Structure 1
Amino acid sequence: MRHARLALLALALAGGHAVAAEVAVIRADRVIVDAAAAPLGPSTLVVRDGRIQALLPGLAAQPPLDEGDTVREFDLRGKTVLPGLIDSHVHLTLDPGSPWWRQAVTTPEFAAAVGMKNAAVTVRAGFTTVRDLGSPGRAGQAVRDAVAAGLAPGPRILVAGPMISIVGGHGDATGFRPEVTEAIQGHVCTGATECARRVRESARAGVDVIKFAATGGVLSQQDRGLGQHFTDEEMRAIVDTARSLGLKVAAHAHGARGVEAAARAGVDSVDHGTFVDDDAIRAMKAHGTYLVPTLSPTIAYREHVGTGRYTPVVEAKIRIRLEATGRNIRAARQAGIPIAFGTDAGVSDHGRNAEEFPLMLEYGGLTAREALVAATRNAAELLGVAAETGTLEPGKAADIIAVDGDPLDDITALQRVRFVMADGRIVRAD
């Protein structure tokens, strides 16, 4: 009713006539409206002022137009049109291969500039929504807000800001002189009260989601293993506080006990889940936890291990990580745990996000359709943006891409993006 009243008010202010708008008309032979359903044949998509207005059958359909409308036609015959892709785990402000000590000299302002570059690369690759799970200071928020304001091209961005970590754990600063460590230490806490405070501080800083390191991490410059870091009580404090503030929670978790504890605490997603076992999977299943498998770092690891890019302590963890590749996604699929697409771009290369898809099929046994659902409908539901994106339905934001080939027949088609409209803005039209 409220929207109807606003529409009538707009008409009244325009003297009883509809307000002229920018209209995009997209004609394609094949349209995937919902990755979980059969695609449509020749169709015409109509976008008005950045939102999907109509989906009409046939290539010659005439869109409803008002006097004064500005119309742009896009002939995408021979391509597959589908919803913009969603990456549930990226680090826009991080470039892969940066020396570990760069954290001591890189300012949040410079990190934001890096983030703007990577946001543009990411959206041109067909990813119109991302969840940025770790950035210094308020660099992530700056990138998010600049893109939303139309100052630069990029996807819709949900930001976590600095990851919450234990003192000396994954995400904290280590390997420096004490005074340097004190100056650049991570978003750390000890005990339930301190951890709740960190969540509140993140909320005050304007984040969209909370992320914490439930376990050790591969790229940390310390040999603390990949097992559980936070206590069960600390994890519950993080999740309960985030819930009270209306925020979702993602848990970085590799080791099985950390995955299990994070799931029991009520996190929305376990990101990585590398070493899951039966107990961890049961906990995820019982609590409705999504898995974000992040297989793409294995590409970077295999390309660069032994080249000197990684320190010896990190390389040792990488080799252990590579041995377990695929355990997470296979177990999740077999148990019926929802899977949301995520790459960990920033560890792997930005713009190569779609290389995750073949890995999902190879290691997890997913069908092309299941992988595409993970990167559209499932990811939108996990991120809480399903009302805006994830399918091509009238009323939703115009997040639309087109690729050469049929991704339901050949998943690598998603690496051949030729057209991108992100939130109604044309980013790419090859």
Structure 2
Amino acid sequence: MGRFSLLFARLVLIGCLIAPATAQAATLVYAGTLIADPSKAARGPSTVVVEGGRIEAVEDGFRSPGEGDEVIDLRDRTILPGLIDAHVHLTGDHDDPFYQGFIDTDEYAVAVGLKNAELTLEAGFTTVRDLGGAPEAVFAVGRAIEEEMHPGPRLVAAGTAVSIIGGHGDMTGVRPEIVELGGDNTCTGPVQCAERVREFSRAGADVIKIAATGGVLSQQGRGLGAHFTPEEMEAIVATARSLGLKVAAHAHGARGVEAAVRAGVSSIEHGTFIDDAGIEAMRQRGSYYVPTLLAFRGIEEQLGTGIYTPVVEKKIRQVISHTGAGLRAAYAAGVPIAYGTDAGVFAHGRNGEEAAMMVELSGLPPRAVLESATVNAADLLGIADETGTIEPGKAADLIAVDGDPMEDITALERIRFVMARGRAHDLPSAAE
């Protein structure tokens, strides 16, 4: 090769090295109306630019596609952030009899969880917090979703709840050897309770759940009052914080609610009989209220069907008359609200019905409901940097609905499009 040819070859090589890279193809999602952040005003016609599973840009109007760009045309629909349900149980079904957990294996629970995860995603929920299930099963479900082996929402999971011996979350009324097979999630005294938290953290828990009071669906018949001592709950919360974990408290009775809040839990789940003292404690400490109104509808629907034992039916009749009262008082006092349904107590996939109940039974305006299911829930789960709003840098979690959910909250029951972490999911009801 001559000197001139060698020089030319080198110049060509240098040019290739410094030439700008070919622009990556993007997905352009056209929105007729865009609710990028439910706490702010909606935008008109917009384009959400998605690249590599994340939101690259949000632009007014409809951007013309470049070479290789994909267009998802939703100009006749409203786009908003993917919804977040802060209280689900993916590995169980609502019509399982109470003894089902003594029969099914963890392997079968994984299959149930994956089935329910897809139903939840199709309902418009791109993130959920699972607050009760066999740890091996629910963590496996979350891993399968994260590794894109199966469609489903982003999963923040607790595994098993920390409980007192003989209380809600413990096995009651069965042979001792069956109790032993169920593992040990109970504790007595601050030292043992701290140890349980460390064990659950080691097992992979993203959040710690405690049964601060009695529960409705457990077989223990000693009411819905407080369970743990204040010292035990303080040990649970302090240990969880030292490990970077939040604590969610299942709580029905008023004194159990107040004690859990004063111990420092991040959220109260249910809060059925919350009173002024509990609400004031939540307001002062910034604890979230997760209402789970749909759970009350679900259990009422199955009264008298044989699904529940007499001891459980008695507790159901005790709580259903209070549906929505605690949420109404908490919202009026300025307590932050995070959307949560207790899916698994009713059929998975109905999660969106909670929104209308929050409006009808507790008087929340639709905007507040949307905030509870997006920005608020993301804050509670500690993932506000990742999701909850539609803005550059965040995961591309988007849904589309017919109508305006700021005016008609039942629009959340008419999901027409779902994108989770940049992947569009085919909906079985997409055909109109």
Contact 2:135–2:203 (Cα < 8 Å) also in 1: no
CA contact (8 A) 1:33 1:391 kept: yes
Instruction: Report what 1:363 is aligned to.
Output: 361
Whether contact under 8 Å (1:27, 1:76) holds in the other structure is yes
Q: Could you tell me how far apart the structure 2 residues matched to 1:240 and 1:388 are?
A: 26
Asked if the contact 1:21–1:49 (Cα under 8 Å) also holds between the matched residues in 2, the reply is no
In structure 2, which of residues 112, 119, 127 is the aligned counterpart of residue 114 of structure 1?
112
| Cα offset, 1:348, TM superposition | 1.5
1:189 aligns with 2:192: no
Contact 1:162 1:186 in 2 (8 A): no
Q: Report percent identity of matched pairs.
A: 58
3-state secondary structure, aligned to 1:250: strand
- Counterpart residue type for residue 48 of structure 2: L
Residues 167 and 188 of structure 1 are in contact (CA less than 8 Å); yes or no, is this contact kept in structure 2?
yes
Contact 1:22 1:49 in 2 (8 A): no
Alpha-carbon deviations, 1:241-285, whole Å to 9, x = none?
Answer: 000000011000000001000000001000100000111111111
Could you say which residue in structure 2 is the equivalent of 1:28? 31
Q: Distance in 2 between matches of 1:232 and 1:427?
A: 46
Report what 2:261 is aligned to.
263
1: CA distance, partners of 2:25 / 2:114? 26
Residue aligned with 1:150, SS: coil
Structure 1 residue corresponding to 2:46, chosen from 43, 48, 70: 43
Question: Which letter does structure 1 place at the counterpart of 2:192?
Answer: E
The match for 1:165 is 163
Q: 1:393 aligns with which of 379, 382, 391?
A: 391
CA distance in structure 1 between the aligned counterparts of 2:68 and 2:109, rounded to whole angstroms: 38
Q: Distance in 2 between matches of 1:359 and 1:388?
A: 28
**Per-residue CA shift, 1:78-100, capped at 9, x if unaligned?**
11000000000000011102111
Q: CA deviation at 1:112?
A: 1.3
Paired residues, what number? Answer: 414
Deviates more, 1:126-135 or 1:175-184: 175-184
User: Contact 1:22/1:48 (CA < 8 Å) preserved in 2?
Assistant: yes
Q: C-alpha separation between the residues in 2 aligned to 1:139 and 1:371? A: 31
What SS does the aligned partner of 1:353 have? coil
Q: 1:139 aligns with which of 137, 140, 144?
A: 137
Map residues 118-129 of structure 1 onto 2, 5 A cutoff: 118-129=116-127
Q: What is the match of residue 4 of structure 1? A: none
Matches within 5 A, 1:279-318: 279-318=277-316
TM-score (norm 1): 0.94
Give me the whole-angstrom Cα distance separating, in 1, the residues matched to 2:135 and 2:60. 48
Give the secondary structure class of the aligned counterpart of 1:128.
strand
State the one-letter code of the partner of 1:408: M
Q: Which runs of 5+ in 2 are unaligned?
A: 1-15
8 Å CA contact 2:166, 2:172 repeated in 1: yes
8 Å CA contact 1:20–1:70 kept in 2: the answer is: no
Cα distance in 1 for residues equivalent to 2:223 and 2:426: 43
Alignment match of 1:81 (pick from 75, 79, 82): 79
* 1:161–1:405 CA distance, 2 compared to 1 (3 A): same
| 1:385-404 residue CA offsets vs partner (Å, 9 max, x unmatched) | 10011110011000000011
Q: Which residues in structure 2 correspond to 1:208-357 (within 5 Å)?
A: 208-357=206-355
In structure 1, which of residues 418, 421, 430 is the aligned counterpart of residue 419 of structure 2? 421
- What letter matches 1:37 in structure 2? K
SS at match of 2:296: helix
Q: For 1:220 and 1:34, how far apart are their aligned partners in 2?
A: 39
Pair member with larger Rg: 2
Partner of 1:18: 21
In 2, Cα distance between the equivalents of 1:264 and 1:300? 30
**Partners of 2:257 and 2:274 within 8 A in 1:** yes
Structure 1 segments unaligned to the other structure (5+ residues): 1-12
CA contact (8 A) 1:22 1:70 kept: yes
Distance 1:383 1:410 in 2: 27
Q: Which runs of structure 2 are paired with 1:64-103 in the superposition (5 Å)?
A: 70-103=68-101
Report if aligned partners of 2:135, 2:158 keep a CA contact under 8 Å in 1: no
Q: Report the Cα distance in structure 2 between the residues aligned to 1:19 and 1:160, rounded to whole angstroms.
A: 44
Tell me which residue corresponds to 1:3. Answer: none
Q: Secondary structure at the match of 2:75?
A: coil
Following superposition, the deviation at residue 303 of structure 1 comes to 1.5
